[in-house]
Chains A and B, each alone.
Chain A
């Protein structure tokens, strides 16, 4: 039976059908739904891990123990997991092991657009890349087979356009695979110099055998059509090329590392003009050119962003598929942009309003609260990667003593567990004085509300121990740890002022559940028009429920959740909860 599945749903289905026993991940767009879908299968033990490195390491243990394993993460998550990955390559597996990494060309939801294919070459591991949901499912099954046959971890690269595009998939039944017997093999699995010297030789030999597999596997496919134009491509670019050049011959690579040398030579010999269409890095192109094959790639196509059919047709055929001018509205002015914003009632809003008001240097981090950098809050000085808020914050005051007493590091609850704890230990150990604000909204919000070690619930929603953030901070040696309600503006303002100036490390846990998860009945706020001076101070909150209409400020009662932060900001007492007008 055919079902309409996203790439992520298909990857989860593929793992289920392939008899996977264990799966782990840390959420990250566009990879998150893989584990969410796997959680529905009772046969699979699946978990959110604290971060991608931990997820990979737990997965390695499970594979060495004999289980078939899938671990998933977004592309930047693979950076976090790179340390175990590089050495796991030397160890080999026992049960089959598949690591899924989801890239984000075009950066729809990421801080960079690195090309994860480089990791396959770096770690000397095979990597597969599907071009639709059917292949996503099928490739998972083949990847696990290859993992066991070649005793290697295998990578599968997805991307936003694969993970979040739905297409029809023939679904099948689960084929149970027994957990392989475990036996100790320290010479293979204890990575220390004497062992690793031998294992590196094995890795290079394995890569040679994989090169032979690349020549023979059905993952790589020659599609002969007209011979004037030949295109080498993989993943989403295959679909874009089919759309743009329906007559062209194609060498479609399903195994993107290592490359099939003989197949490339055969294809190059069979066409008049040879092209590579690949997003981001010239990963294929450089390897193909190193074989002495003449091919055009990045001299035609950009190194950044996505590549669409029109551009392919324009660069290869000399004319785009469709011809401008596009339909445009009358005015020359582009329509106002609609950037993502903090939701009405978001507990992060008051924090950034006050940080801006107090003119503090804000070392930011990854999560919904990165939106605190946007207008009108604009209260963030830098944002790098998960966990960097705390450690880079320490660096600000170490690097420039004038900044001492002005640096605030901001991090979310899930991100704190992910990689904030080690940074905080560094602040304490090195006698830093930064203030760390932990914005505890009780969930991993940005990726769509996933549980984490602080929520007291597992991936499957089962009760578990809820780790206590305050107790962790105290145990890490922070003497000044306080909690404050994100909606209590006066208390929050006072505590930020006091703690930012404190001559020792301090932590303030700003608590309030994500506004999207608070299902209780809401009483919207309203404006007393007689009291409102139209000063617009409340507009500095950047709340989507507030708007200016001429001189007046209005509240959209359908959007307002009555958090009351604007009530506290107003200097004229002109905003109140509806129904409290006479109070």
Chain B
């Protein structure tokens, strides 16, 4: 069967998952591969969990990814990484921002924000469950580039390190997708992420 690569991208509504998936889709398209990108709109925005699936290869049927099928998990927030972990196959790659955004049940004191997410992920990387685990604080990296909203693109820089596409393809896709006035800061954030790991 032809090989299909499956990437799960998650975060919190407003963090820019859709833009990050757009840039990635542009890269894949530029390499003449078949692809499907699936997202959920509407009620799922408004600060809720946001989830996008990207699948590419020589032939792609289902636009969706099920548990344990993802080759890559890209999470803009660490609780979302934790939540989405069941999507990742054994030996898959986790790219995660260590940023913490409290959900409403935590804010109002009904539930606790899990305190040990990063050490637990490190343990999964150490025993080989995760094939590759790359974490940065993407928000801090983006802030250092003068554009806090570019945290998504900074983490995309980390993901780019692990994918088969050359970095120039990403820079080309950035220029095609990101509006001109934000391009310089996004390019800087992308490269900062790329070189951060």
Residues of A within 8 A of B (CB): 4, 29-30, 32, 108-109, 132, 160-161, 164-168, 236, 239-240, 242-243, 246, 308-310, 321-324, 326-331, 333, 335-343, 368, 371, 374-376, 446-448, 536, 539, 542, 544, 546-548, 558
User: In the complex, which of the residues B37, B89, B111, B130 contacts A336, with contact meaning CB atoms closer than 8 Å?
Assistant: B111
B48 near A340 with CB under 8 A, answer yes
Q: Can you list 25 A-B contacts with CB-CB less than 8 angstroms, sorted by A residue number?
A: A4-B35, A108-B40, A109-B43, A161-B38, A165-B37, A165-B38, A165-B39, A168-B34, A239-B62, A309-B66, A327-B68, A328-B85, A335-B79, A335-B82, A339-B48, A340-B45, A341-B48, A342-B46, A343-B46, A375-B108, A446-B43, A446-B46, A448-B42, A539-B107, A544-B104
User: In the complex, which of the residues A236, A329, A331, A337 contacts B103, with contact meaning CB atoms closer than 8 Å?
Assistant: A337
A166 near B25 with CB under 8 A, answer yes
| Bound-state Cα–Cα, A376 to B66, Å | 32
Residues of A within 8 A of B79 (CB): 335-336, 338
Q: A246-B1, A310-B66, A330-B120 are in contact. Are A340 and B47 (CB under 8 A)?
A: yes
B69 near A321 with CB under 8 A, answer yes
User: In the complex, which of the residues A30, A239, A539 contacts B61, with contact meaning CB atoms closer than 8 Å?
Assistant: A239
A167 near B112 with CB under 8 A, answer no
Residues of A within 8 A of B116 (CB): 330
Q: A336-B113, A371-B46, A547-B107 are in contact. Are A322 and B37 (CB under 8 A)?
A: no
A539 near B40 with CB under 8 A, answer no
| Bound-state Cα–Cα, A308 to B69, Å | 12
User: In the complex, which of the residues A327, A371, A446 contacts B86, with contact meaning CB atoms closer than 8 Å?
Assistant: A327
The chain A residue with its CB closest to the CB of B73 is A327
Q: Which of B38, B43, B148: most chain A CB closer than 10 A?
A: B43
B120 near A340 with CB under 8 A, answer no
A324 near B42 with CB under 8 A, answer no
A326 near B47 with CB under 8 A, answer no
Residues of B within 8 A of A333 (CB): 114
The chain A residue with its CB closest to the CB of B90 is A327
Q: Which of B46, B85, B117: most chain A CB closer than 10 A?
A: B46
- B88 at interface by CB-CB < 8 Å: yes
Residues of A within 8 A of B105 (CB): 336-337, 339, 375
B62 near A448 with CB under 8 A, answer no
| Bound-state Cα–Cα, A118 to B38, Å | 26
Q: Which of B106-136 contact A (CB under 8 A)?
A: 106-114, 116-117, 120, 123-124, 129-130
B41 near A374 with CB under 8 A, answer no
B107 near A167 with CB under 8 A, answer no
Q: A246-B1, A327-B68, A546-B107 are in contact. Are A335 and B114 (CB under 8 A)?
A: yes
B42 near A308 with CB under 8 A, answer no
A108 near B1 with CB under 8 A, answer no
Residues of B within 8 A of A324 (CB): 67-68
| Bound-state Cα–Cα, A246 to B1, Å | 9
A242 near B61 with CB under 8 A, answer yes
Q: A239-B61, A336-B111, A558-B148 are in contact. Are A322 and B66 (CB under 8 A)?
A: yes
- B12 at interface by CB-CB < 8 Å: yes
The chain B residue with its CB closest to the CB of A162 is B63
The chain B residue with its CB closest to the CB of A33 is B41
- B178 at interface by CB-CB < 8 Å: no
User: In the complex, which of the residues B13, B37, B86, B107 contacts A166, with contact meaning CB atoms closer than 8 Å?
Assistant: B37
- B162 at interface by CB-CB < 8 Å: no
| Bound-state Cα–Cα, A29 to B41, Å | 7
User: In the complex, which of the residues B40, B49, B102 contacts A109, with contact meaning CB atoms closer than 8 Å?
Assistant: B40
Which 6 A/B pairs are nearest by Cβ-Cβ distance? A109-B42, A29-B42, A340-B48, A338-B103, A243-B62, A340-B46
Min CB gap B37→A, angstroms: 4
Residues of A within 8 A of B108 (CB): 375-376, 539, 542
The chain A residue with its CB closest to the CB of B46 is A340
| Bound-state Cα–Cα, A161 to B49, Å | 17
Min CB gap B84→A, angstroms: 10
| Bound-state Cα–Cα, A331 to B113, Å | 12
A240 near B62 with CB under 8 A, answer yes
- B19 at interface by CB-CB < 8 Å: no
| Bound-state Cα–Cα, A109 to B48, Å | 12
- B44 at interface by CB-CB < 8 Å: yes
Min CB gap B144→A, angstroms: 15
| Bound-state Cα–Cα, A544 to B13, Å | 12
- B36 at interface by CB-CB < 8 Å: yes
Min CB gap B178→A, angstroms: 16
A242 near B106 with CB under 8 A, answer no
| Bound-state Cα–Cα, A374 to B43, Å | 13
- B58 at interface by CB-CB < 8 Å: no
Residues of B within 8 A of A539 (CB): 107-109
Given contacts A166-B35, A326-B86, A546-B107, 18 further A-B contacts (CB under 8 A): A108-B42, A109-B41, A109-B42, A166-B37, A308-B62, A322-B68, A327-B68, A329-B114, A335-B114, A336-B79, A338-B104, A340-B48, A341-B48, A375-B108, A448-B41, A536-B109, A544-B102, A548-B107
Residues of B within 8 A of A167 (CB): 35-37, 60, 63
| Bound-state Cα–Cα, A540 to B50, Å | 25
Min CB gap B123→A, angstroms: 8
| Bound-state Cα–Cα, A26 to B101, Å | 34
Q: Which of B67-105 contact A (CB under 8 A)?
A: 67-69, 79-80, 82-83, 85-86, 88-90, 102-105
A339 near B42 with CB under 8 A, answer no
| Bound-state Cα–Cα, A247 to B40, Å | 30
Residues of A within 8 A of B82 (CB): 329, 335
Min CB gap A311→B, angstroms: 9
Q: A340-B44, A342-B46 are in contact. Are A548 and B109 (CB under 8 A)?
A: yes
| Bound-state Cα–Cα, A341 to B61, Å | 34
B86 near A335 with CB under 8 A, answer no
Residues of A within 8 A of B83 (CB): 335, 338
Residues of B within 8 A of A336 (CB): 79, 103, 105-106, 111-114
The chain A residue with its CB closest to the CB of B12 is A338
